[in-house]
Amino acid sequence: MPQQPQVIYLKDYQVPEFLIEKTDLRFELQADATLVKARLQIRRNPQSLSKNSALVLQGDKDLVLCRVAVNDQVLAEQDYRRSEESLSINDVPDVFVLETVTEIYPDQNTALEGLYRSDGMYCTQCEAEGFRRITFYLDRPDVMSVFTTTIEADKAAYPVLLSNGNPVASGDADGDRHWVTWEDPFPKPAYLFALVAGDLAFIEDRYVTGSGREVTLQIFAAEKDLDKLDYAMISLKKSMRWDEEVYGREYDLDIYMIVAVDFFNMGAMENKGLNIFNTSCVLAHPETTTDAGFQRVEGVVAHEYFHNWSGNRVTCRDWFQLSLKEGFTVFRDAEFSADMNSRTVKRVEDVSLLRTAQFAEDAGPMAHPIRPASFIEISNFYTMTIYEKGAEVVRMIHTLLGAENFRKGSDLYFERHDGQAVTTDDFVQAMEDASGIDLSQFRLWYSQAGTPVIDVSDEYDASQQIYTLILKQRCPATPGQSEKAPFHIPVSVGLLGKSGQDMMLSNGETTQVLELKEAEQRFSFTEIEEKPIPSLLRSFSAPVKLHYGYQRDDLVFLMSHDSDGFNRWEAAQKLGVDILQELIGEYQAGNELVLDNRLTAAYRAVLTDLSLDQAMVSKVLTLPTEAYLSELSDIIDVDAIHAVREFVIKTLAEALSSELIAVYDRCNVSEKYAPDATSIARRALKNLALSYLMKTGKPEQLERALTQFQDADNMTDSMAALALVVHSPYAKAAEVILEQFYLRWKNEPLVVNQWLSVQASNPSKGALNTVKQLMQHESFNMRNPNKVRSLISGFSSLNPVNFHAMDGSGYRFLADQIIELNNLNPQIASRLVTPLTRWKRYPADRQGMMREELQRIMDSGELSRDVFEVVSKSLA
């Protein structure tokens, strides 16, 4: 029986009893151990109520404490107390210097938190609570200190030594060693500390801020990746300009560094002046990176840069406030990407992710508000909810206030709280104070979990020319919250007349934001001359599920006429969902499947209309995904969903093959690769056409895919063709090109990741065996999170048919991997549990098997806090 880990509550928050004014660190990197010497200037917090409490520092159980001194007096063992997770010293003065020397073992660090080695280079990851794995400290975000860091290491093996801030001194030391001292003038919490040591190459550029300050920009990576850094540099400079223009925020240090590492638990980390990135979020080259990869680099570089203000200059008081920095920064990076590329495409992609992954999380055992009230392990709360729903909540504030007031609010927030560690409520308060708009009811979005549902009906009074929308909201129960109060929800609407034009609304515009605050509310529109078709929740103005009884013909009409680009896509999705859900019922009843030819006609119209926004065409012509159809089901029938969707794709492909071939040929232009919105749209449409054509099962379409694979000069086209062939019944052809692809790219880990993932997500029978074999392949490494994500998550989250195999083999496989990773890397292990947490959504036989595997994990021995929390909450 594993020991019950402690639950931490927001309501228990207390200000720190001590503050650290100055932190001096010295790292001596030796062959198998690192010596960390810390000199902390500590003072009692005048705001703390307890006046003579002991000093309690956090420190991981694996830290070897070599020395402790208070004001130069070395402490004897009876003067302090070591527990599993802390170091306590009684009777400390109100102001003093604490010195510690600890020994740590970065080579044995497989959890990738604290100081570890990745491919021969040292790097750190301290968010959220990794600093306590480096040395004893007040490891909480409301303790902010100025840092000076000296790194000493072997000169030949580690020529580059980096930390936060500016380099202020350097020199050689005995035994072919050298050292560098860095000074960061901005007080920061320990989670923003970073250190890097390695044999790294870099590119350098300059940026001149709006006020004329010159900033040096450097991006570091392994020598062989030097040619893959340009796009990140371009993205960084664009981000810096955008934040000046849109938020009035300038960069504040003389140097900004990014380092690429191959072993990383997350995407990237915003350490002050020294971002550390997963290679997958910074390296980009046309030959090795897909369009999606380029866009990820642009978005993540921007995200981490924007954190310099939303996260670093103004940080979080405690980890319950995580969405303060993450929700706001995701909103900021989404707007940046929208401005750089196609706004509608970006919105469609973000909403798709939210509605599948986040809505599912909000309906499951790990559901939590964007400001959680409790947690066992904070690492488990870097979630879709904190990030994506958090961003939607900030977006709603933007919608309710308008762009101008929102900017006033953000200016006030940054000015009022610069240098402070604050709460989500401080953010909302600044928005309220600057705009004069009441957000008291709106604050419920921070404390209530769950996805609200809005049922909409309407009435039209022809004699009075009044049209009325009746909105009813409810929100399902979530763990610990059975009853919910009504939310304040901005519902953006337009009304379309018969000819497809937008009607003028009472606000003098064609779109109006209805503020839904009651459980049920009526909104009337006057001078409406004919019964309109409503366009509801334009641009997805709130993270809700909205139901309105559209007829299929209404949806076809909205697909071609709605002036809101997002809702044109949404109409196509709704039409697809309606048709697919009906067919799923037929399939389950054992009836013959017949496709409603209105879908074929609507798709034909979109395929042949050259006046449409080409960036949106491939989105409109993509059927609702299996993940989205699953999320919409009460009981998920994996096989029916897959079979029906395949049937519809094949039927559409056969009916529209000449149009699809025309589109393919039109988009198949040879041009120099560029990752801009227009070329990305063209490649997306071409590859969408190819994906339909492949489903016709005609040998000439296989030829087309193989030709594209052989001729492609960029990874987008090459990968698309590879995936289509691998996921087709042409197993022989697939084997040949998989082999060819691997031989060509085996020295490019990021490409190999995709090669693994394509095989893991193959819906054909036998995928699990392939995955098991690939785990023995030379390219796989259980200690590398990118490899685990590609192969294991590629199977468990992108291959529903095989993962949910009726013999339970998929579940068993996943549980085995979780049990193994629980010791190696708890964060990654815990993330892998997600698909099993959804067990209640499946039919009884599958439920039983999934539960059994959760129980087996629970009983497998000593669990990390990370895995314990997710598994125990799932079984509760």
152 binds, among Zn ion, ligand PHE, none (CB under 5 to 8 A by kind): none
**Measured from the CB of residue 185, what is the shortest distance to ligand PHE in angstroms?**
22
> Are 772 and 814 spatial neighbours (Cβ–Cβ below 8 Å)?
no
Q: Does residue number 377 form part of the binding site for ligand PHE (CB under 6 A)?
A: no
- The enclosing H or E element of 384 equals helix 384-384
127 binds, among ligand PHE, Zn ion, none (CB under 5 to 8 A by kind): ligand PHE
493 binds, among Zn ion, ligand PHE, none (CB under 5 to 8 A by kind): none
Q: Does residue number 335 form part of the binding site for ligand PHE (CB under 6 A)?
A: no
Q: In the range 308-327, which residues lie near Zn ion by CB under 5 A? A: 326
Burial of 463 (0-12, 13-18, 19+ CB in 10 A): exposed
Size of the site for ligand PHE (CB under 6 A): 12
> Which residue lies nearer to ligand PHE by CB, 388 or 637?
388
Query: How far apart (Å, rounded) are the C-alpha atoms in residues 863 and 866?
Result: 8
| Residue in 57, 111, 266, 579 binding ligand PHE, rule: CB under 6 A | 266
Query: How far apart (Å, rounded) are the C-alpha atoms in residues 368 and 323?
Result: 12
- The enclosing H or E element of 34 equals strand 34-44
Q: Does residue number 270 form part of the binding site for ligand PHE (CB under 6 A)?
A: yes
Query: How far apart (Å, rounded) are the C-alpha atoms in residues 403 and 335?
Result: 12
Q: Which stretch binds Zn ion (CB under 5 A): 203-211, 329-337, 472-480, 541-549?
A: 329-337
Cross-sheet strand order for the sheet of 533-536:
512-516, 489-496, 533-536
- Looking at residue 10, the DSSP 8-state letter turns out to be G
**Measured from the CB of residue 388, what is the shortest distance to ligand PHE in angstroms?**
12
Query: How far apart (Å, rounded) are the C-alpha atoms in residues 368 and 363?
Result: 10
Binding mask 267-306 for Zn ion (x = CB under 5 A): ----------------------------------------
**Measured from the CB of residue 333, what is the shortest distance to Zn ion in angstroms?**
8
> Which residue lies nearer to ligand PHE by CB, 564 or 866?
866
Q: Going by C-beta distance under 8 Å and a sequence separation of 6 or more, which residues neighbour residue 652?
A: 595, 599, 600, 603, 692
For β-strands 214-221 and 160-163, DSSP reports them as unpaired
Query: How far apart (Å, rounded) are the C-alpha atoms in residues 240 and 210?
Result: 10
Name which of 333, 313, 316, 346 is nearest 414 in CA terms: 313
**Measured from the CB of residue 274, what is the shortest distance to Zn ion in angstroms?**
15
**Measured from the CB of residue 269, what is the shortest distance to ligand PHE in angstroms?**
4
Q: Does residue number 304 form part of the binding site for ligand PHE (CB under 6 A)?
A: yes
By beta-carbon distance, which residue lies closest to ligand PHE? Answer: 266
Q: What's the length of the chain? A: 876
Block residue for tokens 């309606």:
578
> Which residue lies nearer to ligand PHE by CB, 329 or 696?
329
> Which residue lies nearer to ligand PHE by CB, 132 or 538?
132
268 binds, among ligand PHE, Zn ion, none (CB under 5 to 8 A by kind): ligand PHE
Block residue for tokens 């371009």:
234
| Residue in 331, 382, 741, 813 binding ligand PHE, rule: CB under 6 A | 382
Q: Does residue number 326 form part of the binding site for ligand PHE (CB under 6 A)?
A: yes
Q: Is 582 a catalytic residue?
A: no
**Measured from the CB of residue 330, what is the shortest distance to ligand PHE in angstroms?**
8
Q: Does residue number 505 form part of the binding site for ligand PHE (CB under 6 A)?
A: no
Q: Does residue number 127 form part of the binding site for ligand PHE (CB under 6 A)?
A: yes
Q: Which stretch binds ligand PHE (CB under 6 A): 261-269, 352-360, 411-419, 603-611?
A: 261-269
**Measured from the CB of residue 106, what is the shortest distance to ligand PHE in angstroms?**
17
Q: In the range 437-476, which residues lie near ligand PHE by CB under 6 A? A: none
**Measured from the CB of residue 117, what is the shortest distance to Zn ion in angstroms?**
24
CA 745 vs CA 83, 476, 485, 675, 752: distances in Å: 49, 48, 55, 21, 7
Tokens of 122: 């040292």
Name which of 142, 251, 116 is nearest 194 in CA terms: 116
Active-site entry in 17, 28, 304, 570: 304
> Are 359 and 394 spatial neighbours (Cβ–Cβ below 8 Å)?
no
Helices first, then strands: H and E counts in the chain:
31, 31
Query: How far apart (Å, rounded) are the C-alpha atoms in residues 162 and 259?
Result: 10
The DSSP bridge partners found for residue 277 are 260, 268
Question: Cα dihedral sign for 549, 551, 555, 560?
Answer: negative
> Which residue lies nearer to ligand PHE by CB, 125 or 356?
125
**Measured from the CB of residue 141, what is the shortest distance to ligand PHE in angstroms?**
12
Q: Does residue number 269 form part of the binding site for ligand PHE (CB under 6 A)?
A: yes
Name which of 273, 165, 291, 275 is nearest 231 in CA terms: 291
**CA-based max dimension of the chain:** 94
> Which residue lies nearer to Zn ion by CB, 288 or 329?
329
> Which residue lies nearer to ligand PHE by CB, 293 or 534?
293
Binding site for Zn ion (CB under 5 A): 326, 329
Binding site for ligand PHE (CB under 6 A): 125, 127, 265-266, 268-270, 303-304, 307, 326, 382
- Residues with catalytic annotation? 304
